[in-house]
């Protein structure tokens, strides 16, 4: 068999559709470029806020931590929120890439298949009925939303695979969209029977919030996101072929049912982890993949890692806007992403047709 | 015999039984190495299903498909794809891949799970594009191409798989006369020069007559007849297949059989 060997790398920035330069070179340049952007955003974002701080002072080891106000603001007050933004943005953007390719639909989002509606219902139930319910470990909002997401994933998967061994992407889409509206109705009902304080808390959760108040929840979500990323690593080449067509993929040697299952469950896992951590923050999963494709082309072996990195930078930047633009008032980050994402989404639709 | 379908049966929606369609009933076909075989028959006769079974994309309910004596069912998808490539009627990618990217996807079965294509793979892709006369389009967007160009790029992508057999599903159906001729000539050249085994489903009897040395005539999920093109392509057969009265004769300039439909039998 013919095996490939490493080729020349030209470090120049790569315009769209320059496929003649080696994939290795493009991949390295992409990871380096977007990685730098993501890292810089995460380091610089905590410096901005109502109290400006200095990075050199925050990182100055010669001042004891309990006397270093800059370090306390950087590491305790702001960094957890920035890291949560990076984790959630990265997970949602990658899940968007995976689902768009698998469903062969560039307008799919991580929330298209009902995962976020399931998560929201779980969160609502705990917020509204929390006092009355004794669900053991499920009594916290993140755990309940995770359980809701898992239940929604299971229902959609069952519906889409009922008719045979292969997943039907059209049934998957229909089931997801239907489940979204159905669960939204239940969420509205739950909110209707709740009192004002609970409704406010519920509404606030649905708008998305990265202010997670410390590292604990972040660390709890990390294994889920990492597990999803390990699964993602197997996908990019299959995603290229699935996006060309199911039969085309099978004819090129892709085990289609297996690749579809892997894509569906890994994307659902990443989405569940992100939503349980910060609520359903919309539009990240569609804006980021499309921006990335405009910059680096459509090959998923590049788009997926690039979106994972750029998604982190994007959501951290949006959250920075959310907490500074009307300071001292904070806008929910989901409102910011929607205000950027909504018009962008429409532009994509218009551009497509 | 090289590629063999032995008494294969296939039913769509067999699992649910809702609107189950028996597409193939005990169909047996054998394809010689290096031959150019045409699958002919009216709409819904099972040509495409048979092609999918031969490609291993679908598995038969009963019967076996084997390549070189090995059942496809016992080979991995990847192994099958190294030996058999498929050219569908039309290919509509969801994203705007370049022509070279489309061609390089043919290397998929030859690459490991985490392996990226290297210079050797790119050379094979360029060679396939050259063989199909599309190398000048390498950096173009696939979606921006004309139908004929697209189909030649898809054939190039199949060639990049370095297969022993090409399975073609009405490869010229959406093309105008000029491109039909062009793709036809390309297929004949690939068959002769690379001794690639070709199996082509088509509605175009004249294309089949000009390219295929063997024909398999199908109707209602069964094989009516098969054999040398010159022997089985007769007006009696056309009548039996399509309920159409046709004049079948060797065209002196073209040098092969031609079929001129004269009227439909009621």
**pLDDT digit string (tens) for A248-294?**
999 999 999 999 999 999 999 999 999 999 999 999 999 999 999 99
Question: Is the pLDDT score of A43 beyond 50?
Answer: yes
Residues of B with Cβ-Cβ distance to A18 under 8 angstroms: 139
Q: Scan for tokens 């690593």, then name that residue.
A: A233
d(CA A251, CA B158) in angstroms, rounded, equals 9
Residues of B with Cβ-Cβ distance to A23 under 8 angstroms: 116-117
Beta bridge partners of B226: B216
**pLDDT digit string (tens) for B210-264?**
999 999 999 999 999 999 999 999 999 999 999 999 999 898 888 889 999 998 8
Q: CB-based contact (8 Å) between A17 and chain B?
A: yes
- Over residues B114-127, mean pLDDT: 92
Chain-wide mean pLDDT for chain B? 91
Instruction: Identify the weakest region by mean pLDDT among A110-124, A335-349, B102-116.
Output: A335-349
User: What pLDDT is attached to residue B139?
Assistant: 93
Question: Is the pLDDT score of A76 beyond 80?
Answer: yes
Residues in chain A: 353
**Beta-sheet pairing, B165-169 with B84-87:** parallel
Q: Are B238 and B248 in contact (CB under 8 A)?
A: yes
Question: Is the pLDDT score of B175 beyond 90?
Answer: no
Q: CB-based contact (8 Å) between A33 and chain B?
A: no
A222–chain B nearest CA distance, Å: 24
SS (H, E, C) A279-336: CCCCCHHHHHHHHHHHHHCCCHHHHHHHHHHHHHHHHHHHHHHHHHCCCCCCCCHHHH
Nearest-Cα residue of chain A relative to residue B81:
A253
Chain-wide mean pLDDT for chain A? 87
Strand order in the sheet with B62-67: B21-31, B3-12, B62-67, B70-71
Q: Are B36 and B213 in contact (CB under 8 A)?
A: yes
Q: How confident is the model at residue A139 (pLDDT cuts 50, 70, 90)?
A: low
Q: CB-based contact (8 Å) between A305 and chain B?
A: no
Residue B171's closest CA among B87, B86, B99? B87
Domains of chain B: 3-95+161-264 (3.40.50.300)
A59–chain B nearest CA distance, Å: 38
Q: Where are the domains of chain A?
A: 23-352
Buried b / exposed e along B88-105 (16+ C-beta atoms within 10 A): bbebebbbbbbbbbbbbb
A1/B77 Cβ within 8 A = no
Residue B134's closest CA among B116, B109, B108, B158? B158
- Residue among B56, B109, B118 minimizing CB distance to A7: B118
Q: Are A286 and A96 in contact (CB under 8 A)?
A: yes
d(CA A94, CA A110) in angstroms, rounded, equals 9
A16–chain B nearest CA distance, Å: 10
Residue B37's closest CA among B238, B246, B218? B218
- Say what the pTM is: 0.90
Q: CB-based contact (8 Å) between A299 and chain B?
A: yes
Give the 3-state secondary structure of residue B224: strand
User: What pLDDT is attached to residue A329?
Assistant: 87
A251/B85 Cβ within 8 A = yes
User: What pLDDT is attached to residue A4?
Assistant: 33
Question: What is the dotted CATH code of the domain comprising A23-352?
Answer: 1.10.3470.10
- Over residues A9-16, mean pLDDT: 38
Phi–psi pair at B65, nearest 5 degrees: -115, 130
User: What pLDDT is attached to residue A59?
Assistant: 87
- Over residues A79-89, mean pLDDT: 96
Instruction: Identify the weakest region by mean pLDDT among A78-87, A219-228, B70-79, B169-178.
Output: B169-178
Residues of A with Cβ-Cβ distance to B106 under 8 angstroms: 252
- Residue among A4, A241, A250 minimizing CB distance to B117: A4
A252/B81 Cβ within 8 A = yes
Question: Is the pLDDT score of A17 beyond 50?
Answer: no
Q: CB-based contact (8 Å) between A251 and chain B?
A: yes
Instruction: Identify the weakest region by mean pLDDT among A183-187, A296-300, B57-61, B173-177.
Output: B173-177
ipTM, two decimals, is 0.90
User: What pLDDT is attached to residue A297?
Assistant: 92
Residue A157's closest CA among A122, A113, A103? A113
Dihedral sign of CA atoms B156, B157, B162, B163 in order? negative
Q: How confident is the model at residue B74 (pLDDT cuts 50, 70, 90)?
A: very high
């Amino acid at each position: 068999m013919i095996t490939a060997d490493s080729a020349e790398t030209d470090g120049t920035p790569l315009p769209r559709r320059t496929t003649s330069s080696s994939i290795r070179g493009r991949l390295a340049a992409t990871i380096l470029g977007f990685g730098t952007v993501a890292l810089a955003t995460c380091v610089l974002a905590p410096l901005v806020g109502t109290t400006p701080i200095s990075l050199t002072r925050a990182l100055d080891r010669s001042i004891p931590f309990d006397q270093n106000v800059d370090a306390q603001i950087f590491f305790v007050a702001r960094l957890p929120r920035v890291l949560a933004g990076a984790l959630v943005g990265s997970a949602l953007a990658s899940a968007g890439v995976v689902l768009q390719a698998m469903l062969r639909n560039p307008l799919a989002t991580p929330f298209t298949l009902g995962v976020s509606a399931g998560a929201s219902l779980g969160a609502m139930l705990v917020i509204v009925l929390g006092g009355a319910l004794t669900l053991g470990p499920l009594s916290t909002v993140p755990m309940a939303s995770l359980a809701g997401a898992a239940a929604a994933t299971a229902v959609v998967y069952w519906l889409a695979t009922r008719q045979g061994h292969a997943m039907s992407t059209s049934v998957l889409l229909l089931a997801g969209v239907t489940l979204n509206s159905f669960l939204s109705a239940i969420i509205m009902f739950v909110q209707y029977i709740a009192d004002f304080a609970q409704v406010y808390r519920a509404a606030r959760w649905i708008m998305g919030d990265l202010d997670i108040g410390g590292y604990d929840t972040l660390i709890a979500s990390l294994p889920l996101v990492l597990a999803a990323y390990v699964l993602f690593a197997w996908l990019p080449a299959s995603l290229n072929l699935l996006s060309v067509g199911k039969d085309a993929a099978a004819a090129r040697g892709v085990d289609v049912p297996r690749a579809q299952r892997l894509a569906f469950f890994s994307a659902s896992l990443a989405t569940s982890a992100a939503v349980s951590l910060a609520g359903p923050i919309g539009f990240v999963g569609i804006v980021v993949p499309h921006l990335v494709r405009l910059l680096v082309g459509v090959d998923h072996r590049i788009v997926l890692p690039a979106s994972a990195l750029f998604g982190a930078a994007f959501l951290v930047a949006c959250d920075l806007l959310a907490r500074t633009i009307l300071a001292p008032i904070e806008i929910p980050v989901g409102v910011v992403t929607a205000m950027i994402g909504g018009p962008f989404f429409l532009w994509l639709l218009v551009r497509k047709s | 015999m090289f590629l063999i379908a032995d008494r294969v049966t296939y039913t769509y929606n067999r699992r649910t039984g809702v609107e189950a369609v028996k597409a193939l009933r005990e169909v047996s076909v054998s394809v010689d190495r290096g031959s150019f075989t045409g699958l002919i028959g009216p709409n819904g006769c099972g040509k495409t299903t048979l092609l999918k079974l031969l490609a291993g994309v679908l598995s038969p309910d009963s019967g076996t498909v084997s390549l070189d004596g090995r059942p496809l069912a016992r080979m991995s998808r990847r192994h099958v794809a190294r030996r058999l490539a498929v050219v569908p009627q039309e290919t509509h990618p969801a994203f705007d891949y370049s022509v070279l990217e489309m061609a390089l996807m043919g290397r998929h079965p030859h690459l490991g799970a985490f392996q990226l294509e290297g210079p050797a793979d790119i050379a094979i892709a360029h060679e396939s594009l050259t063989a199909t006369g599309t190398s000048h389009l390498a950096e173009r967007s696939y979606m921006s191409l004309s139908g004929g160009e697209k189909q030649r790029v898809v054939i190039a992508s199949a060639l990049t798989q370095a297969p022993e057999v090409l399975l073609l599903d009405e490869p010229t159906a959406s093309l105008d006369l000029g491109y039909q001729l062009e793709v036809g000539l390309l297929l004949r050249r690939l068959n002769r020069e690379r001794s690639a085994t070709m199996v082509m489903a088509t509605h175009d009897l004249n294309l089949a007559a000009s390219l295929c040395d063997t024909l398999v005539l199908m109707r209602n999920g069964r094989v009516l007849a098969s054999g040398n093109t010159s022997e089985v392509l007769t007006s009696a057969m056309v009548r039996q297949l399509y309920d159409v009265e046709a004049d079948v004769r060797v065209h002196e300039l073209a040098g092969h059989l031609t079929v001129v439909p004269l009227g439909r039998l009621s």
